[in-house]
Amino acid sequence: MGAIYQSISVNQISKEQRWDVPFNVELKNLYENQVQVVTIEEISRHLTNGATPLGAQFLDEGVHFYRANDVKRYNLDYFNHKYISKEQSKTLKRSILKFGDIIFTIKGKVGDVAVFPENQEESNINQDNALIRLKEGYDPYYFCGIFNSKFGLNQVKAFATETINPFLGLGNLKKLRLPILEKQKQESISNKVKQTIDIELKALLILKKTQTIFYQKLGIDFSKIQKEKYYSVNLSDFAKDDLWTPAFSYPLYVNTLKEIQKKWQTVPLGEIATVKKGDEVGSDNYNKYLDKKDSDVPFIRTSDLVNYEVDQFPDFYVPEEIYKELNQDIKAGDVLFTNDGKIGLVAMLTSQDKVIIQSHIKRLRLKPETKKYNLTPEYLFLVLSIKEVARYQTERYTVIQSTIPTISSHVFDIQIPILDKNSIDEITKLVKEAFELKDEKKKLIKEVREEIDSYFDI
């Protein structure tokens, strides 16, 4: 392929004070095609960053508190964020989120943009995020689509400081440009972005409903299991176990499993599923989104398991040759489970997910002989998403190797309760419905990205 040459006027470079080629070329094309361009400052009626409350202690419930790593392109991570108290949130009232607000990451992985959905509980943001509230007549969903595209990301790259921890100050954020395309194109982008958010929330609502059904079918009142702060263990108990940690003998974890086993048969995960570890590819093979080839494959780390799925836009991509060489044999319906680092995250793959998983993630696939239990991948996924089943057991088995938490080979020992066939079938049907929606959402996001790139000839 021959070299492509573009000329940029000295006046434009002087005016923008940016030498970045993609940024200047795209801006030049907009001017030549007489597309109206406005800055974020011009279209914002409220623009601020968040803050972390002084001396804040994060809570198990309260006001949702989103950090930069909780903001993904198009959607928020609704399960791994922190909580602060209502009193603390009131001291940060300038960054309390409202329906239609834009959340824009400005530190770390800069340039991820999401729209705050309707009918959400009180939420706030930390200092690594900016809140943008648009003036009347400007569409947050169109804004979200544009700035999550290559056009938007090229701008962010041009204005952000390139350090170990990239940063986009509010002053530079205000200078970013939003092209005002024809009304029909704006509506097409806006409708698709809004659909992706609506579909995701519907899928998560179905999964929440399914978890409630599981609890009902299980028939155990977990609130009656005492949370003892002080406890003792017989020395003889250590003789049969290879873990001498306080968490392994913690009565809440031990008694919860005993209550489940009183009512239901349980089987170890290693008996019903093949467990395959992911791989490390070396940071030299990492490519970021703007630098990757079309054939590069997403490299999924523990931080890329979001809302029970793999992030469609992870931090890194690797060459397809490595994907073929590793031959991880990953396919739709496989369950992923993290056993190192951030332990106990679970996800299921859809037909849109062609990925490589890192070594901290296990791929779970049911063995053929589990038909006698009427198990399905969807049921296994759902059980592993239940706190009293999976998280309590992983907490028991967690140890620190060097500086990284791990459950090592004890992933095989996690006990899976086997409900009756009708309950498993009901759960399976609902989980399938949820992941069909997630698959539809991923197709739609790919479609809107390609549509926007075509408008800018990227």
Provide the CATH topology of domain 10-180. Answer: Adenine-n6-DNA-methyltransferase TaqI; Chain A, domain 2 (3.90.220)
Instruction: Give me the pLDDT at residue 5, please.
Output: 47
| Average pLDDT score, the chain | 92
Per-residue confidence band for 15, with pLDDT thresholds at 50, 70 and 90:
low
Both tokens assigned to 399: 């140890």
Q: Tell which CATH architecture fits domain 220-419.
A: Alpha-Beta Complex (3.90)
Strands, sheet with 82-84, edge to edge from the N-terminal-most edge strand: 82-84, 63-66, 123-125
Both tokens assigned to 226: 């005492």
CA nearest 386: which of 206, 208, 163? 208
Instruction: Give me the pLDDT at residue 30, please.
Output: 72
Q: Give the pLDDT confidence of 383-406 residue by residue, as tens digits.
A: 999 999 999 999 999 998 878 899
Both tokens assigned to 318: 């690797």
Long-range contacts of 170-176 (CB under 8 A, 24+ apart): 170/47, 170/48, 170/49, 170/106, 170/130, 173/40, 173/47, 173/104, 173/106, 173/130, 174/39, 174/40, 174/41, 174/44, 174/47, 175/39, 175/40, 175/41, 176/39, 176/40, 176/147, 176/152
Q: Are domains 10-180 and 220-419 of this chain identical in fold?
A: yes
Per-residue confidence band for 458, with pLDDT thresholds at 50, 70 and 90:
low
Is pLDDT at 283 greater than 60 in this prediction? yes
- pTM for this model (two decimals): 0.91
What Å distances lie between residue 387 and 81, 199, 247, CA to CA?
Answer: 16, 25, 15
Question: What are the phi and psi torsion angles at 451 (to 5°)?
Answer: -65, -45
Instruction: Give me the pLDDT at residue 295, please.
Output: 96
3-state DSSP assignment of residue 356 = strand
Tell me the C-alpha distance between 340 and 357, whole Å.
13
Instruction: Give me the pLDDT at residue 343, please.
Output: 94
The full set of domain ranges for the chain reads 10-180, 220-419
Task: Establish how many alpha carbons lie within 13 A of residue 313's alpha carbon, considering only the half-sphere containing its beta carbon.
Answer: 22
Instruction: Give me the pLDDT at residue 238, please.
Output: 66
